[in-house]
Amino acid sequence: MDLIKKIKKFPFVLAPMAGYTDYPFRILAREYGASLVFTEMVSVYSVIHHREKVSKILYFTKKEKPIGVQLFGNNSLLFYEAAKICVSLGFDLIDINFGCPANKVVRTKAGAYLHKDLKAVEETIKNTVKGAGKIPVSIKMRSGWDDNNKNFLDIAKIAEQNGVKIITLHPRTRLQMFKGKSNWEHIKKLKEHSKLFIIGNGDVTDRESAYKMLNETSCDAVMIGRAAIGNPFIFKEIKDKSYSPTFNEKINIAIKHLKLLYKFKGKRGIMEMRKYYSKYIKSIKDASEIRKKLVIEDDVEKITGMLKELKNN
């Protein structure tokens, strides 16, 4: 499979993250070497009935390819039509979210809730694979609902029997959310029991931990999420042991990120950029005070000027 061949060349991919992995973020991740990127998760209902409303989530360019779209929902039948639409839009991979632990998602019986309903998991996979046609389907899941209900191997078996090509495992339970340590032994166990392409995810924060996951679990690739926020450099750091971004480079990328967001989302983009400043400038003296000044400004040129003034600091 061409997509898997591409990932194997540099087996480090960007995780789908709600509120983060939009077009500007993905562009930067690809520039710094991520072999695969994903959209933010998007509901199958919205893809079918409110395409205009989620057009920003579904937007991508050739520069980002290969790119996957991550779908979630509680109606397995809708995954068929949503997958067909996503194929027509040109996505390279259709990913099913069985792992989101957020209350607002779980309350609708979507995301990680589906660890409690394996029949729904099976129907969702079947419909997605059918709708995707020749485009590969992946799933992203957790270890299980709680410590007494760890069913990732059961879901993997269902996935393998019904045409899924890639599995990403975040080895925490839903009740853990993002607390405690992820259990990499579950990734290792999954790799031992499944013939599919396995991507590990969880607690990868730098080059050392990325390769540690590969080596300890024998997974085929590593997915990086929170550690890449405001830090697209992590992919280049993993690839090149001698590379370390200078502060000036971080500022240049922060400016590029800001301008991409502004061009893509207008004033809303300026507001969304505020959550990234602390990441880009954290190594500088008085970073907290500087961030406070940046987040109250809403003029893109003024912010650009403020960021430029930090260079060579």
Quickly state the pLDDT bin for 205 (edges 50, 70, 90). very high
pLDDT of 52 reads 84
> Does pLDDT of 245 surpass 70?
yes
Mean pLDDT of the chain: 97
Domains and their CATH numbers in the chain:
2-239 (3.20.20.70), 247-310 (1.10.1200)
**Cβ partners under 8 Å of residue 215, min gap 6:** none
> Does pLDDT of 1 surpass 90?
no
Average pLDDT over residues 55-61: 96
Quickly state the pLDDT bin for 218 (edges 50, 70, 90). very high
pLDDT of 183 reads 97
pLDDT of 284 reads 86
Task: Reply yes or no on whether 86 is catalytic.
Answer: no
* Cβ–Cβ under 8 Å, residues 270 and 262: yes
Annotated active-site residue in 100, 129, 164, 199: 100
pLDDT, one tens digit per residue, over 157-193 is 999 999 999 999 999 999 999 998 999 999 999 999 9
pLDDT of 313 reads 66
* Cβ–Cβ under 8 Å, residues 71 and 83: yes
Average pLDDT over residues 206-223: 98
**Cβ partners under 8 Å of residue 130, min gap 6:** 80, 83
Q: How far apart are CA 227 and CA 234, in angstroms?
A: 8
pLDDT of 285 reads 86
